């Protein structure tokens, strides 16, 4: 199933691999590098069509200074954290419980309820746009961080439940039976037996959901407006002036906005990769 390691390939294949890898990497990272380059350019470079050359002067300090001290960017960043963290906690907490219920108890319609959660993942979320907006308006949650958090929790719980239920299914059922024989209540089994075993799954899922929610743009634009509630992904567009798009500031803002999930990825790399594969094994 796995490809043969590159060291065991014929010499020609090894050389091709070594030659192609940097090219592929450059293609892959090209747009990112361009954004990084744009973020240290002066505005004049865009009017001079100096899109890909070296910056005519280094304006990194100026651009990033503008982003941090002369715009709503810090506010947007704070909003992002205030939206992402409660969502992660909420979605993971709920899915631990639903996963436990669906993974441990055998009752009629167990599978159907599970399918219901799974099916939610297959709904293209764009079709929910208008109803969800109307719903948040009716509930008075339009343009609030709470509204966004509640929606994200509701929507992410589907995927999280799938993930958690499969993980709990894979746990040795004997542990739970042993606990039941000891006469321990179900709540305590959940809390003292299952939850500690779920720690790797919780870590992996938290990292995954953090990046999902942080990078969300669609719902941020649909459900919130303005600096008091919008997260950073939507806030970047505020660098579009009445007349001009400040490409250099947008680039600097994008880099800043991308840092937390990237940092999260590097710090929690192990969990992240575990997260991508955990749900796959039953």
Interacting residues of 105 by C-beta distance below 8 A, sequence separation 6+: none
**Interaction of residue 16 with another protein, rule CB under 8 A:** no
Alpha-carbon distance of 128 to 34, in angstroms, equals 34
Counting beta carbons within 10 angstroms of the beta carbon of residue 30, is it exposed (0 to 12), middle (13 to 18) or buried (19 or more)?
Answer: exposed
**Interaction of residue 46 with another protein, rule CB under 8 A:** yes
Q: Is 159 helix (H, G, I), strand (E, B) or coil?
A: helix
**Interaction of residue 245 with another protein, rule CB under 8 A:** yes
Counting beta carbons within 10 angstroms of the beta carbon of residue 45, is it exposed (0 to 12), middle (13 to 18) or buried (19 or more)?
Answer: buried
**Interaction of residue 61 with another protein, rule CB under 8 A:** no
Residue from 35, 42, 193, 195 touching another protein (CB under 8 A): that is 42
Nearer to another protein, 69 or 105 (CB): 69
Alpha-carbon distance of 94 to 204, in angstroms, equals 15
* Shortest separation between residue 66's beta carbon and another protein, angstroms: 7
Nearer to another protein, 68 or 125 (CB): 68
**Cβ–Cβ < 8 Å for 76, 67:** no
Of 16, 147, 162, residue with least CA distance to 82: 147
**Interaction of residue 68 with another protein, rule CB under 8 A:** no
> Tokens standing for 50?
């100096």
Residue from 18, 57, 225, 269 touching another protein (CB under 8 A): that is 225
**Interaction of residue 243 with another protein, rule CB under 8 A:** yes
Residue from 1, 61, 241, 280 touching another protein (CB under 8 A): that is 241
**Interaction of residue 169 with another protein, rule CB under 8 A:** no
Residue from 61, 242, 277, 280 touching another protein (CB under 8 A): that is 242
Site for another protein, rule CB under 8 A: 42-44, 46-49, 66, 70-71, 225-227, 237-246
């Amino acid at each position: 199933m796995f490809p043969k390691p590159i060291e065991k390939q014929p010499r020609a294949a090894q050389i091709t691999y070594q030659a192609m890898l940097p090219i592929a990497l450059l293609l892959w990272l090209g747009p990112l590098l361009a954004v990084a380059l744009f973020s240290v350019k002066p505005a004049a470079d865009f009017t001079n069509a100096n899109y890909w050359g070296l910056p005519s002067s280094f304006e990194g300090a100026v651009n990033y200074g503008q982003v941090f001290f002369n715009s709503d960017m810090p506010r947007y960043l704070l909003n992002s954290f205030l939206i992402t963290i409660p969502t992660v906690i909420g979605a993971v907490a709920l899915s631990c419980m639903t996963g436990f219920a669906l993974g441990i108890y055998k009752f009629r319609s167990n599978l159907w309820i599970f399918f219901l959660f799974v099916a939610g993942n297959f709904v293209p979320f764009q079709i929910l746009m208008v109803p969800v907006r109307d719903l948040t308006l009716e509930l008075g949650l339009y343009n609030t961080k709470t509204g966004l958090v509640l929606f994200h929790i509701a929507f992410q719980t589907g995927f999280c439940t799938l993930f958690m239920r499969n993980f709990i299914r894979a746990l040795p059922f004997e542990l739970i039976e042993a606990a039941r024989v000891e006469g321990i209540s179900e709540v305590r089994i959940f809390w003292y037996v299952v939850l500690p075993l779920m720690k790797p799954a919780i870590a992996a899922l938290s990292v995954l959901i953090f990046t999902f929610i942080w990078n969300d743009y669609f719902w941020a634009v649909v459900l919130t407006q303005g600096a008091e509630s919008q997260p950073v992904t939507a806030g970047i567009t505020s660098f579009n002036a009445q007349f001009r798009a400040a490409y250099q500031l947008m680039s600097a803002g994008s880099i800043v906005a991308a840092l937390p999930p990237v940092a999260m990825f590097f710090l929690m790399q192990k969990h992240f990769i575990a997260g991508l594969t955990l749900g796959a094994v039953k």
